[in-house]
């Protein structure tokens, strides 16, 4: 009950921020913005879009996503990414999004979604080889990298077959848990590559 009340309060706060502007709004602990249809899905899913609201509770953020214009009863995969379009840069698999019979989806993620969001590898280390089928088998080690800020978001078809069934390209990508996803459907390319929306939240 306490968790439900907190979530309801956060959602109400996020929706209040969203009402400030249809495209983008920000203050020290809230941001709201749109995700737009990707170039690869523009012809097959021209009405696809999402509204994102993020509320900071100081120690973490709550992200609320409302997507519309998608195929009904379909699974998608949500990522935090370095740049919004190919080659996407370093990417983090945040979770799944599933549409209802109307092609709408609502999802909530809790994590670190602000100006401090980054990926870092101090040095190479062995990595487990779990999903090894081509064309995107697991890597046996990680590359070394200094901190890389990741301020963009992207949504992919979970299945290239679902993409094809909806008139989209059947390209296979690595953007799901088993590395056999479909094309990107939504992204934050309405923001500059080096100035993704998460950068605007500085609690």
Residue located via tokens 């062995």: 126
pLDDT under 50: residue ranges of the chain: 1-7, 9-10, 13-21
Domain, as residue range, for 36: 2-200
d(CA 199, CA 177): 26
Q: Looking at the 3D structure of the chain, how many domains does it have?
A: 1
Give the model's pLDDT for residue 126. 98
Give the model's pLDDT for residue 78. 98
Q: Summarize pLDDT for 164-200 with one digit per residue, the tens.
A: 999 999 999 999 999 999 999 999 999 999 999 999 9
Whether omega for the bond prior to residue 135 falls within 30 degrees of 0, making it cis, is yes
pTM: 0.89
Looking at residue 59, the DSSP 8-state letter turns out to be S
Q: How far apart are the first and last CA of the chain?
A: 27
Cα–Cα distances (Å) from 34 to 51, 101, 114, 124, 147, in that order, read 5, 22, 16, 36, 26
């Amino acid at each position: 009950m306490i968790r439900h009340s907190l979530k309801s309060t956060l959602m109400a706060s996020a929706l209040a921020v969203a009402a400030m502007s249809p495209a983008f709004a920000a203050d020290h602990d809230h941001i709201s913005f749109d995700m737009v249809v990707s170039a690869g899905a523009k012809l097959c899913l021209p009405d696809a879009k999402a509204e994102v609201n993020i509320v900071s509770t100081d120690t973490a953020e709550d992200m609320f996503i409302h997507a519309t214009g998608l195929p009904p009863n379909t699974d998608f995969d949500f990522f935090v990414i370095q740049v919004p379009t190919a080659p996407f840069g370093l990417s983090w698999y945040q979770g799944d999004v599933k549409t209802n019979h109307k092609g709408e989806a609502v999802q909530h993620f809790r994590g670190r979604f602000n100006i401090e969001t980054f990926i870092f590898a101090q040095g190479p280390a062995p990595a487990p080889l779990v999903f090894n089928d081509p064309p995107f088998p697991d890597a046996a080690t990680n590359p070394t990298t200094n901190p890389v800020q990741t301020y963009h978001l992207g949504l992919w078809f979970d299945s290239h077959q679902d993409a094809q069934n909806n008139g989209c390209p059947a390209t296979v990508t690595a953007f799901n848990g088993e590395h056999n996803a479909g094309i990107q459907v939504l992204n934050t390319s309405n923001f500059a590559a080096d100035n993704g929306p998460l950068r605007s939240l500085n609690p």
